[in-house]
Structure 1
Amino acid sequence: MPDIVRMQPLVRSRLDRSKFCSFDVEAIDGSTQPLIHQEARFLLINKGEGSIVIQGVRYALRPGAFVAILPWEITEVTEVLSPLQYYLLIYHFDGVNRLIKSFYNADNEPIDIIRMLTNSPVVYCDKYQTERVRECFLTLRDEVGVESTLTEGEAQPLSSVHVMNQLVELMVLYMRIGKNTSPIFGKKHLPVDKSEIFRYIYTHLNEKLTLKTLSHLFYMSESSISLYITQMTGLSFFDLLNEMRVGKTANFLLYTDLTLEELAEIMGYVDASHISKVFSARIGMKMSEYRKTYQKVNEICKFSESRDAYALVAFIYRHYAEELSAQKVAERFHISSTELNRTLMYQVEQNFEDFLNFVRVNRACELLLTTDRTVMEIALEVGYHNSKTLTRNFLKQKVMTPGDFRKRITLQQTKNPL
């Protein structure tokens, strides 16, 4: 059985979930493992040469390469001939897509952004085009800051409007550069790859999706599709479906005032009760609490003394098994949820949810090796509501299930006693 493919987190910013996009600068000097991206990305290659595989197709990376990655696409840097340095934007694709079609498309021109970016995920800019694209990236950097250095953008009037305008401009530049440089831009000219299954599911979440439907579309048996999904993600078909729906639901909670009934209808749930149950099980808090926690907070509180930051880390570490949420912990320490995440990033290089899950999963590892309790019992003891939530977070951190962890570590200890 092949190794499970890692999933990038379902966040645009580890500091502030409410951000529409985040900016960073990254550099790599070697090939990478395959990744499943839950959020959309734009990359602009500044230096270096190499190759990237997107949805099973190889593309050259060089200065001026402009890369568009959509949610639930699989990428892998397979070759680095000289160290690559690039700008990275992680952004809310559904928001940009709706914005272009609803407000910017005054002429009602037919626009299929998903198809264009799907069929042509890399375009190559000349010197003039590169500078225009780079200017958009740097403008966004000035607005939202730099993620890896915890640098905030300078506060400006109508910042969110400016951010969305720049993302729309980037999208327009991408499509124009592609159309002007390639006669086949936006046209599919290669066989369909199995990895397209993930993107198809993501773009049809409001429909009644079944393995039978996917079987007809991708010319694979239902069992083969089910096995492929599990091998790639560690999740069953229905768990993956819920994972994707919860991600989209979270964005609707942040950027709209839709009711639970309206969200249930949009996202393909049975009713408001169903969507509430699934969301709470996956995220660990009620939808109303999530919306309240991660909406923009106007006042930013600062720590007066560094000992408060250590007290915050200690509190989470000692109370991980309790019903904790970013909002509750932030209120306890009289700060905003954004400042809570910023403080944790400085102290432990993780935001609240990542750190809490890190502590819980590590404690679960101890219990798996030192007790004979079931996965469900361990899940409840470390603070999760069910075994699925533990398994989902375990997969993200350890890239294996709790059951596999217990078997593999036990086998290693038996063969190599210390």
Structure 2
Amino acid sequence: MARNEPTQVAEGPEGHRTPARRKAVRYAVPVAVAGVAAATIGLVPALAKSGDPDLPKISAEDLIAKVAKSDVQQMSGSVKVTTDLGLPSLPGGASLGALGGGHDGKKGGADVSPQAKLTELASGSHTLRVAVDGPDKQRVSIVEPAAEYSLIRNGDQVWAYDSGSNTVHHSTAPREKADAKGHSGPEELKGASPQELAKKALSAVDDSTSVSVGGTAKVAGRDAYQLVVKPKAEESTVGAVRIAVDAKTGVPLKFTLSPKSGGKAAIDAAFTKVDFAEPAASTFDFTPPKGAKVTEDKGKGDGAQREHKGALPATPGEMSGFDVVGKSWTSIAQFKAPAGASKDAKAKGGALGKNAGGAGALLDTLGTKVSGPFGSGHVFSTRLVNVLMTDDGRVYAGAVTKEALIKAATK
């Protein structure tokens, strides 16, 4: 068969990415937002390539349609996720990417809720084990050298377990209406499905995007096409996204996001093993280990957000003044800084600004001072996401240039 070659640029379905949620951690808010946003953009499972198979030619339009039609309900495998956003470090070498983690800096003080754990994927390399058996049985485990974090759903029971602190978080899944393909369940667990994550990434494809098929790849022993997605907008900091799509099932197998600034990938996720057979039923069983500290959700399974120490808000709508300007690759999330941070700022003569003591000094070190018609503030930059925090407590974040953020703040 003929080798697959790049095809013509095609337009995909309209959509936009949902901006990520923030952690209310005073002066660390901008960097935490950057980490979560990048993690949300990029957590599509991927496989390491090992050879370029010969496959029938396919257009970009047809490949996108193949992903959209994919409805694999059962699978399991191992995934390696590597994120290099270029997050700055705090004095003493601690990474700001770790501020979103759930351990509160000490053993035994862990917050093991999914919201708190999400930001740990925003930096470094992590190995995940995933298993899915329909909309009501899902498991994702983050495997660390000396510990493991697991999020398990079995029916309406949801368990989160951190073996390092021997801490368990238990909740009841809200009863949601399934979509046309039968998918349902809380948002955190929908992320365990590779196809759902890929569709989220492809939702940014519109007339501001060029899309082509860029050859083929061998991913964990499976033949795959490579879909290449490139934003056209100058304001976007995304250079290109490459998604390896399983030639047989249409399931995305590889996701690599490269920043426009160049260098190695900002996000690279890879399945090292994948199996589309039905996982064993015992995979989704969980009983709290002896001696484990169990925290029960305060909610009653009605979908309302519960309070957890150090947790991120469950939905963007829970952020004060939350809004999204722009669309697709130039979407910018804007909201007000945490109330505590704003009060502290006013008491010291400026929202975390020049007179805010140690916090202000740290902002000056980590961020770049900016000013304009909107007032003044600081811009915090990673290789992918920029965040503007104004001195009057407004926050603007997105995978866009700092000039785009300043323009949004001015409007």
TM-score by length of 1: 0.26
Greater strand fraction, Structure 1 or Structure 2: 2
Using CA pairs under 8 Å that are at least 6 residues apart, name the structure with larger relative contact order, 1 or 2. 2
Greater helix fraction, Structure 1 or Structure 2: 1
TM-score by length of 2: 0.26
